[in-house]
Chain A
Amino acid sequence: MSEEVKVFGTLGSPMSCRVELALKLKGVQYEYIEEDVHKNKSPLLLKYNPVHKKIPVLLHNGKPIAESLVILEYIEETWKGNPILPEDPYEKAMARFWARFLDEKCLPALWNAAWSPENEREKAVEEACDCLKTLESTLKGKRFFGGDTVGLVDIAAIFIGFWLRVLQEATGQELLSAEKFPDLVKWTDEFVSCSVVKESLPPRERLWAFFKARVAGAMDAQTNASK
Chain B
Amino acid sequence: MTGPLEQAGPEMGQNLEARTQLDVYTWYSPYVHRVAWVLKLKGIDYEFVEENLKDPNKRSPLLLNCNPVYRKIPVLIHHGKPIVESLFIIEYIDDTWKDNPILPTDPYERAMARFWASFIDERLLEGSKRVLSVKGDQLKMETKQVSDAMEVLEGMLEGKKFFGGEKIGFLDIAFGWIAIWLGAIEEAVGVEFFNRRKLPLLETWKDKFKEFHVVKDSLYPTEKLVRFFTKYRHSQLKLAAKK
Contacts and interface: CB of A to CB of B under 8 A. Distances in A.
A74 B108 CA distance: 7
Given A77-B110, A97-B85, A67 B92 contact: no
Contacts of B107: 74, 77-78
A66 B111 CA distance: 9
Interface stretch (B14-22, B76-84, B206-214): B76-84
Contacts of A105: 69
A73 B91 CA distance: 12
A97 B84 contact: yes
B155 to A, nearest CB: 11
Contact of A66 (B78, B83, B91, B115): B115
B89 A93 contact: yes
Contacts of A60: 108
Contacts, number: 55
A71 B152 contact: no
Nearest to B149: A51
Interface residues of B, number: 22
Contacts of B110: 73-74, 77
Contacts of B118: 67, 70
Contact of B69 (A92, A96, A101): A101
A100 interface: yes
Contacts of B108: 60, 63, 65, 74
Interface in A64-113: 65-67, 70-71, 73-74, 77-78, 89-90, 92-94, 96-97, 100-101, 105
Contact of A74 (B81, B84, B111, B152): B111
Most buried by B among A71, A73, A90: A90
Nearest to A71: B111
Contact of B95 (A63, A74, A92, A134): A92
Contacts of A92: 91-92, 95
B115 A67 contact: yes
Contacts of A96: 85, 88, 91
B186 to A, nearest CB: 24
A135 B189 CA distance: 41
Interface in B107-124: 107-108, 110-112, 114-115, 118-119
A89 B114 contact: no
A101 B70 CA distance: 9
Interface in A151-194: none
B85 to A, nearest CB: 6
A89 B95 contact: yes
Quick one: which of A92, A97, A101 has the most chain B CB within 10 A? A97
B81 A90 contact: yes
Given A65-B108, A97-B88, A70 B69 contact: no
Contact of A89 (B84, B85, B96, B115): B96
A151 to B, nearest CB: 16
A73 B114 contact: yes
Contacts of B115: 65-67, 70
A168 B107 CA distance: 38
A51 B152 contact: yes
Contact of B83 (A74, A90, A134): A90
A105 B71 CA distance: 14
Contacts of A97: 83-85, 88
The 8 closest A-B pairs by CB, nearest first: A89-B95, A77-B107, A74-B111, A93-B92, A93-B83, A65-B111, A70-B114, A78-B107
18 contacts: A60-B108, A65-B108, A65-B111, A65-B112, A67-B114, A67-B115, A70-B115, A70-B118, A71-B111, A89-B95, A89-B96, A90-B81, A93-B88, A96-B85, A96-B91, A97-B88, A101-B69, A105-B69
Interface of B: 69, 78, 81, 83-85, 88-89, 91-92, 95-96, 107-108, 110-112, 114-115, 118-119, 152
